[in-house]
Structure 1
Amino acid sequence: MRKKVILGMSGGVDSSVSALLLKEAGYDVIGLFMKNWDEKDEFGVCTATEDANDARRVANQLGIPFYVINFEKEYWDRVFTYFLDEYKKGRTPNPDVMCNQEIKFNSFLDYALKLDADYIAMGHYAQVEKREGKYYLLRGKDRNKDQSYFLSRISQQALSRTLFPIGHLEKKEVREIAENNNLYTAKKKDSTGICFIGERDFDEFLDKYLLTKEGDIVDVDGNVLGKHKGLIHYTLGQRRGIGIGGIGTGEPWFVAGKNLKKNILYVAQGENHPALYSISLIGESPSWILGEAPIMPLKCTAKFRYRQDDIPVTVDMLENGNIHIGFDMPVKAVTPGQVAVLYQGEICLGGSIIKSIEPLDKKYEYLNRN
């Protein structure tokens, strides 16, 4: 009897090729489009509707059933509310990581299991490997597209039921397969941005949901340089859009810290200014792919944002359940609210939300103290 797989189809080329490969492998494939957000763009078009139509066209090409399921309430309650709360705390969240944890590999999985699916599948560039009864999350073959960072908080139970049909392929191979099979989405551009914002103006979107208040821009020596448009619009290490060019040495300015209570945006001049660097972090709510923490202290590598090169680190468990991650070298623009994802070679061990950072120079500890 053929195994039933329910595939998350986004209307893009990756999930389209995933559907093709699963069908060719002999699975009984059902395509399911997740509608997580409902808002029209500036032209009055709901892009989710367009994407769902593209996914349906591919499903029809392949002769597989296709359905749309609405997860808007779950997304609002578990992802978007979290996103807004993090910004209110002065942090910079990663909603894509939370979407995978709460929606794609939780709500979607639960729904699929109720339909008696054997597996779910996604068009992510990542791989699953079973070893001695445990399921390991591995990086995707295409290092430029590897999405294990965004999957770092999914559970062992979810991973045991998940297939990543294109994880062993390079992006160019995926495009070639789509073109060779005349799939409707073969030449469709990859989507960019967070799903509920898309390619619209990010600052404008935040202003719609969160109150902002002007405040002082202050350099790390205490000089007031100008006014910011609301702390939610800035993140550590940010260079563009600060609005104080031409002051000082002529070198670019970077966001070095935010003080919520005083509504101050701190900046430092020069891309190698010591105020921009940290040597360790505290991570909260750690999540481990294997379901339990590794033996500590742990020598491994970490990424503190997507596409960052791996940083050698040492991880220790703290008594309160948080983790301490010490860096082998100072790292620039490590940002509270983002996810610290840990790796051992090709294996993704899990991830922790960055709570606070330890600056390279102790005199800059005040920069992010709220």
Structure 2
Amino acid sequence: MINNKKFVIVAISGGVDSAISAYILKNMGYYVEGIFMKNWNIDDNNNYCNSEEDFFYAKLISSRLNIKLNFINFSKEYWEKVFKITLDKLKLGLTPNPDILCNKEIKFNLLIKYVLNNIGANYISTGHYVKNIFFKNKNFLLKSIDKDKDQSYFLYTLNNDNLKFCLFPLGWMYKKNVRELAKKLNFENFDKKSSTGICFIGEKNFRKFISKFIPLKYGNIITSDNINIGTHNGIHFYTIGQRYGLNIGGIKKYLSKPWYIIDKNVINNTIIVSQDKNHPNLLSKGLIANSVNLINEIKNIYRLDIEVKLRYSKNTMKSKIEFINNNKVKIIFNKLYGIVVPGQSVVFYINEICIGGAIIESNIL
């Protein structure tokens, strides 16, 4: 008989992190079942989608742990709520983060509702490297002890209402120890590569894959002083600060130095570049961000000094936050910062606590 107070569903992805999460929770006394989410149906037999391989590993690990593996197909929902929105933002010249959107709409919204209402579990668990601490009737999201693998950046869209259903056992572990434990347990996926973003697309295949959904649209690459030095095949393939893959080296009258994308003009379909790595467009005083989410209500946040992350890394920047309205903020850095990319997320921290975040609209020069 299931003890309903300890019934947890683990999102088994086929990777080592979710496998060890399930193992830990089972050994802690929880009744554990797994669930495999299929988020992509289109052209499953191509070189991008690894869902068949992932499902194979998910079944293998579930069998080793002697737990039931449930299955849910969220492909339609993923297309509407994640991938379609990602495409729309790419067309606008932005650089969205589909992994954050997937966590918000699929894993910690639809999946939680499905698990609670259709399976009858009390908790959901994933292999994310974060901590979830209950204190004074609130659930707080904290950084992992493994700062190199901390994934709070990807989970800033959560809130107290869905955090109370979440268990994150890996927040107190280092990735190397997770792999060592998996190897000791003879898990076949102990060295399986981790994935983020559009998880079924490798970095090298991104352009080829996206071009199946957004037609190529050739345009000019121009210098900051309006000299045409090359062509591109679609603004959506490029991002501010990018220096690789521009194919504009060896141009007469210019130094043999890297070129950096300093701006994109969607209306004119042009990419603007410079050889000055300290170009003003690449050095920001701060940023404007919208679609603000606060994990918990925080009093006097208008007067708080915070730290921010502008990308997935262990580095934070000391900053001041000013609310323009309930949905928009101005962030001023304590010192000049490098590349600020519209469409990406800025995530807010007070010490170890992730308090929320927003989507970058523009930088402040």
Fold conserved (TM > 0.5)? yes
Inter-CA distance 264–308: structure 2 relative to 1 (3 Å threshold): farther
Aligned residue for 1:209, secondary structure, equals coil
Alignment of 1:1-370 (within 5 A): 1=3, 3-40=6-43, 46-114=49-117, 115-191=119-195, 194-199=198-203, 201-247=205-251, 248-291=254-297, 295-307=301-313, 309-319=315-325, 321-359=327-365
State the one-letter code of the partner of 2:270. I
Inter-CA distance 85–322: structure 2 relative to 1 (3 Å threshold): same
CA distance in 2, matches of 1:141, 1:320: 32
Aligned residue for 2:154, secondary structure, equals helix
Q: Deviations over 1:50-72 (max 9, x none)?
A: 10110111111111100211010
- Matched with 1:365 is none
State the one-letter code of the partner of 1:219. T
Contact map agreement 2:48 2:202 (CA 8 A) in 1: no
CA distance in 2, matches of 1:38, 1:84: 17
Aligned residue for 1:211, secondary structure, equals coil
Contact map agreement 2:217 2:233 (CA 8 A) in 1: yes
Q: C-alpha displacement at 1:198, in angstroms? A: 3.6
State which drifts further: 93-102 or 242-251. Answer: 242-251
Q: C-alpha displacement at 1:292, in angstroms? A: 5.5
Contact map agreement 1:52 1:68 (CA 8 A) in 2: no
Contact map agreement 2:160 2:295 (CA 8 A) in 1: yes
Inter-CA distance 43–34: structure 2 relative to 1 (3 Å threshold): closer
Q: C-alpha displacement at 1:148, in angstroms? A: 0.4
Q: C-alpha displacement at 1:174, in angstroms? A: 0.4
Inter-CA distance 271–146: structure 2 relative to 1 (3 Å threshold): same
Q: Deviations over 1:295-340 (max 9, x none)?
A: 2032111111111621111110013631111111121111000000
Contact map agreement 1:268 1:276 (CA 8 A) in 2: no
State the one-letter code of the partner of 1:162. C
CA distance in 2, matches of 1:40, 1:209: 13
Aligned residue for 1:296, secondary structure, equals helix
State the one-letter code of the partner of 1:83. T
RMSD: 1.7
Q: C-alpha displacement at 1:358, in angstroms? A: 1.7
Contact map agreement 1:217 1:264 (CA 8 A) in 2: yes
CA distance in 1, matches of 2:188, 2:363: 46
CA distance in 2, matches of 1:330, 1:44: 42
Inter-CA distance 238–174: structure 2 relative to 1 (3 Å threshold): same
Contact map agreement 1:220 1:268 (CA 8 A) in 2: yes
Contact map agreement 2:284 2:338 (CA 8 A) in 1: yes
Contact map agreement 1:192 1:199 (CA 8 A) in 2: no
Segments of 5+ residues of structure 2 without an aligned counterpart are none
CA distance in 2, matches of 1:293, 1:249: 53
Q: Deviations over 1:225-248 (max 9, x none)?
A: 121221111100101011111231
Inter-CA distance 111–346: structure 2 relative to 1 (3 Å threshold): same
Q: Deviations over 1:83-120 (max 9, x none)?
A: 01111111000000010000000000000111221110
Inter-CA distance 299–217: structure 2 relative to 1 (3 Å threshold): same
Aligned residue for 1:201, secondary structure, equals helix
CA distance in 1, matches of 2:324, 2:299: 12
TM, length-normalised to structure 2? 0.94
Contact map agreement 1:315 1:323 (CA 8 A) in 2: yes
Q: C-alpha displacement at 1:44, in angstroms? A: 6.0
CA distance in 1, matches of 2:299, 2:248: 45
CA distance in 2, matches of 1:41, 1:251: 42
CA distance in 2, matches of 1:196, 1:46: 5
